[in-house]
Amino acid sequence: MKEQKLNPLDQRSTQASPAGASNPEATDENRRPPELSMARVLSLFRPQPFMVHAGRRRNMLCKMSMDSRARKVFAAAVEAVQPDTVVRQSIERKEDSVVIGGQKFTLKHNLHLVGFGKAVLGMAAEAERILGDHLVKGVISVPHGIQQTLQQHGKNHLLLKENSRIRVMEGAKHNLPDIDAQNAAEGIKQFASELTENDLLLVLISGGGSALLPAPIPPISLQEKQDVTRKLAGAGATIQELNTVRRALSVLKGGGLAHFAHPAQVVSLILSDVIGDPLDMIASGPTVWSEVWPEEVWSILEQYKLLSCLPASVKEVLGRPTQRWRENKGESNTSGRVLNTVIGSNSVALKQAGRRARELGFRPIVLAAGVCGDVRAVSRLYGLLARFACSPEEPPPEIAGELLRLGPEVGVESWDLCRTMQVLGEGRTEGWGSTCLLAGGEPTVELTGKGRGGRNQELALRVALELGGLGLPPNGPVFLSGGTDGQDGPTEAAGAVTDGGLPEESQAQGLDIDSVLTNNDSYTFFTRLSAGRRLLVPGLTCTNVMDVHMLLIPPIHVKIT
């Protein structure tokens, strides 16, 4: 393999999958032939015959409840995207060189490291374990209190060793940029600026990186930038909108960091927490060149009614000519010295979940990794899929029609729905046993109340209502929704596990689901219901690749009422 120079701020992404990864059910744009009729689409996805587990193993699996198997599959998803695991899988050390994303880089005590994001401490610890003998120095910006928290949770393998060459700077309390994070950003900028063309800069990036790397373009103050982003987030701006504005107001975002590191070789390892893994959006893309279009930024600010309260400094910066890198460093580009590589994502978590589901006696289907939109529409989708899967006869065509209509609203393509319906249909007619339908993404909740909850718990509750409405006998489908970061909204739970029996259970315990939903009080509800047994509480997971959804469907041969 020869050493290679790369294109300016290369946006290619190498999707690292866990060792031996190959999942016929995984969603993959690249596998889609260009033009296909629906009939051809359906015929392409004849599933693998389901492995029947014999003897003792089968009995053991049968004894394990659907609920506990759902939790085990979720745990496997989270395990697959642990910060140390994803770094280990993406770095291949070969004596005095390292191979990353298929490119070979020579190590000659020229390695430098920076990082910013919630999962970056564990990523840095692993990178130092593998490459430490060539590491000169490093500096990372990580959440306030994370070292202490990891210690308390016994996660010492995610901490740096005592004599580490990497300096840890904690900041951004409550995920908001603050003076500590700004100092860290300034330190990282200085550090990158001093590198030479013989140096290799390893950049570790994960979700939360935007708040941990604030570097407002003067004369914008930190407070002013924080106000703008907080107001945008509060008004319901998407992460794409938020980070488009952040990039326009920052010296380091949108490719700025790579620019300061020039002429060093830059290699970024990115753990994605954004749907579709867009490199320029994850942590606002500090190593991904992106043009700033002031018209686009103005229109976002206008849409969320922020124009009238914009500080003069922000107006001034947005009014400047856009060639900001010329001003910053007197150069127009970084002449081919950047590699950006996605090393972990929701898809990686879903693939591993699929493998675990198979071990636990299910036939896995991965629907999509980009589920988004309002939780009400998303719950309807899962309700329809359950109905489709549990129908004892050929399901009425209206179900498929409604699913295909709903798909685009919730980020699921018709292609993926057709493939999924094909597998579910064959599972039903050919009697393949239990199925585990997996999906991921980040739906939204329109907050109407002041209760305590999160989008995963609310989704699980709404899906339970859908399942309850199917009129299936007990031991029907089970649904799990969980945030891979272990924290759903401002609660201690990651999500919940529900089924069609939940409405009756809550009625028997005097809990009114309608008022819970109106008040967005799903956490309080699940805490009270059956002493919290339906809550999913994995604790601190140290990673974040958005949410995992799971619909476990047992073999059902009854008529739906």
Ligand X SMILES: Nc1ncnc2c1ncn2[C@@H]1O[C@H](COP(=O)(O)OP(=O)(O)OP(=O)(O)O)[C@@H](O)[C@H]1O
Distance (Å, whole) CA 513 – CA 277: 35
Q: How does DSSP classify residue 558?
A: S
Residue 489, binding choice from ligand DGY, ligand X, none, Cβ under 5 to 8 Å by partner class: ligand X
Beta strands in 185-251 (DSSP E): 200-206
**Residues in the chain, total:** 561
The smaller minimum CB distance to ligand X, of residues 87 and 517, is found at: 517
The smaller minimum CB distance to ligand X, of residues 101 and 117, is found at: 117
* Nearest residue to 240 (alpha-carbon basis) of 174, 173, 290, 179: 290
**Torsion-angle region of residue 347: left (phi > 0), alpha (psi -120 to 50) or beta?**
alpha
Q: Phi first, then psi: give them for residue 219, nearest 5 degrees.
A: -95, 20
Among 38, 307, 312, 447, binds ligand X (CB under 6 A): 447
The smaller minimum CB distance to ligand X, of residues 273 and 499, is found at: 273
Task: State which of positions 504-523 bind ligand X (CB under 6 A).
Answer: 520, 522
Residue 283, binding choice from ligand DGY, ligand X, none, Cβ under 5 to 8 Å by partner class: ligand DGY
* Beta carbon of residue 433, minimum distance to ligand X (angstroms, whole number): 34
The smaller minimum CB distance to ligand X, of residues 25 and 273, is found at: 273
Among 543, 544, 545, 556, binds ligand X (CB under 6 A): 544
* Beta carbon of residue 388, minimum distance to ligand DGY (angstroms, whole number): 34
Among 126, 458, 466, 499, binds ligand X (CB under 6 A): 458
Instruction: Please answer whether residues 201 and 105 qualify as being in contact, where contact means their C-beta atoms are separated by less than 8 angstroms.
Output: no
Q: What's the first-to-final CA gap in the chain, in angstroms? A: 63
Distance (Å, whole) CA 215 – CA 237: 21
Q: What is the sign of the dihedral through the CA atoms of 146, 147, 153 and 159?
A: positive
**Contacts with 182 (C-beta within 8 Å, 6 or more apart), sequence order:** 171, 214, 215, 222
Residue 453, binding choice from ligand X, ligand DGY, none, Cβ under 5 to 8 Å by partner class: ligand X
Distance (Å, whole) CA 476 – CA 491: 28
Residue 487, binding choice from ligand DGY, ligand X, none, Cβ under 5 to 8 Å by partner class: ligand X
**Contacts with 209 (C-beta within 8 Å, 6 or more apart), sequence order:** 116, 117, 120, 282, 283, 284, 286
Residue 182, binding choice from ligand DGY, ligand X, none, Cβ under 5 to 8 Å by partner class: none
* Beta carbon of residue 440, minimum distance to ligand X (angstroms, whole number): 12
* Beta carbon of residue 270, minimum distance to ligand X (angstroms, whole number): 14
Instruction: Please answer whether residues 166 and 139 qualify as being in contact, where contact means their C-beta atoms are separated by less than 8 angstroms.
Output: yes
Instruction: Look up residue 216 and give its two tokens.
Output: 């407002």
* Nearest residue to 78 (alpha-carbon basis) of 446, 407, 550: 550
Q: Does 445 bind ligand X (CB under 6 A)?
A: yes
Distance (Å, whole) CA 173 – CA 138: 22
Helix (H) or strand (E) holding 226: helix 222-234
The smaller minimum CB distance to ligand DGY, of residues 283 and 467, is found at: 283
Q: Does 272 bind ligand X (CB under 6 A)?
A: no
Q: Does 277 bind ligand X (CB under 6 A)?
A: no
Among 126, 170, 273, 416, binds ligand X (CB under 6 A): 273
Residue 71, binding choice from ligand X, ligand DGY, none, Cβ under 5 to 8 Å by partner class: none
The smaller minimum CB distance to ligand X, of residues 128 and 442, is found at: 442
**Contacts with 34 (C-beta within 8 Å, 6 or more apart), sequence order:** none
Among 444, 524, 527, 530, binds ligand X (CB under 6 A): 444
Task: State which of positions 374-413 bind ligand X (CB under 6 A).
Answer: none
The smaller minimum CB distance to ligand DGY, of residues 183 and 238, is found at: 238
Amino acid identity at 468: G
The smaller minimum CB distance to ligand DGY, of residues 342 and 412, is found at: 342
Q: How does DSSP classify residue 535?
A: E
Q: Phi first, then psi: give them for residue 272, nearest 5 degrees.
A: -85, 135
Q: Note the residues at the interface with ligand DGY (CB under 6 A).
A: 207-210, 239, 243, 273-274, 282-284
Residues in the interface with ligand X (CB under 6 A) total 22
The smaller minimum CB distance to ligand DGY, of residues 135 and 300, is found at: 300
Instruction: Look up residue 151 and give its two tokens.
Output: 């210690």
Binding mask 282-321 for ligand X (x = CB under 6 A): ----------------------------------------
Q: Does 451 bind ligand X (CB under 6 A)?
A: yes
Q: List residues near ligand X by CB under 6 A.
A: 175, 207-208, 273, 444-445, 447, 451-455, 458, 483, 485, 487-490, 520, 522, 544
